[in-house]
Amino acid sequence: MGCLQGKGKKDASEAEKDKEEPKTYSWDKKDKVNPADYTIENISNTEVGRLPGTINGQQFIIQNCQASQIYLFDHINTITIDDCSDCTIFVGPTTGSLFLRDCQDCVVIAACGQFRTRDCCKMDIFLLCQTQPIIEASAKMKFGCFQAFYPELKDHFVSAGISVFNNNWSNVHDFTPVDGETNWSCVSQTNALSQAFKLPEGEELKRVGLKLETSLSVVPYTHGSPVYGGQEAALVVIFYDETFHQRALEFITSLKAQVVDCKIQHSREVKMEVSDAQRVFQTSEYKNAVSRGPVIALLCLGSGITEACSGVGQQVNAASSNQAVYVTSDESTSSQQIDAFFSYASMTMSMLSSTLKKENTNNNCIQ
């Protein structure tokens, strides 16, 4: 009897264990992703898109689309666009890579960490790219500066971790050059984008409020060409505080109001070490300013540009409690400081490119 009773207690204990809830882990609690929500494929003569808040940093795929208009109004992780022709495509700020393959006769507006094409032809790309864009086995490629606005776009850049001041759109590397031929060129006309790109016509996508005017763009218009010899040039460095992005945009607006032919050739946002700042500025005066955080640099061109930049810079500094803006003092110092700063910035961008490639590999992104 004792044995029978003991066995009965053991059975009851085992029954209680069977009723226990199974263990759960953090990855079990994540929302299940439906790939169809992040894929646009096999469409023709259609307008489709995704509204703000519907992608929210996921990976996205566009493939096998013809004669269609596609708009992705959100921030994205990585995106591939395959086998598309005669399409208009807007790609919101993309943290990692944008890879175009086997596409032709398309117009694309895109902002991304890395950009690459393979086996593409006759593409108009209006780009913001944090690193050097790469084309491979591609021809008749035209590149211009990203210009766009919709109310949520600024926040989408922040969510994607992309600076609107780091744009290498014109610094294209052709991985498969052909002797005697040029596979890509730059579009310098500010109205080229509005003439080439088709805005949404459907009411839902139209309500997002996409605008392509340079004066409204979240991304400053840069001319991009590395050649500025023979033109008066000034280096402007805007030091960090909570409003330095807005201050940089306001500086550009004020400068263009004073200098009719003003051009912003390049802009960069980088973190400077004190030793690098001393090498660029040839003084230790700005070591505290660069220690506060990253800086934004503008390479400005135009007749009387040094005097105009100095005037705007004095106004900004007078209204600030900290050192806010540095401007090259005269033409004789500009060239040396411009070369020193942008050499440093290029090195920093190369390091960023290597980091992005490593992150993409770790995340099983596009190779």
Residue spans of the domains in the chain: they are: 39-206, 233-351
Q: Using the predicted structure, report yes or no on whether residue 96 has a pLDDT greater than 50.
A: yes
Which tokens in the block code for residue 218?
């979240």
Q: Is the pLDDT of residue 139 over 80?
A: yes
Run of H or E residues at 300? strand 295-301
pTM of the predicted protein model: 0.85
pLDDT in tens, 148-205: 999 999 999 999 999 999 999 999 999 999 998 899 999 977 889 999 999 999 999 9
| Calpha distance 107→113 (Å, rounded) | 19
- How much helix, strand and coil, in percent to the nearest 5, is found in the chain? 30, 30, 40
CATH number of 39-206: 2.160.20.70
CATH architecture of structural domain 233-351: 2-Layer Sandwich (3.30)
Q: How does pLDDT run across 293-315, given as a tens digit for each residue?
A: 999 999 999 989 999 999 999 99
Determine the pLDDT at residue 353: 58
pLDDT of residue 346: 78
Res 336: pLDDT:
85
Render pLDDT for 102-133 as a digit per residue (tens, 0 to 9): 999 999 999 999 999 999 999 999 999 999 99
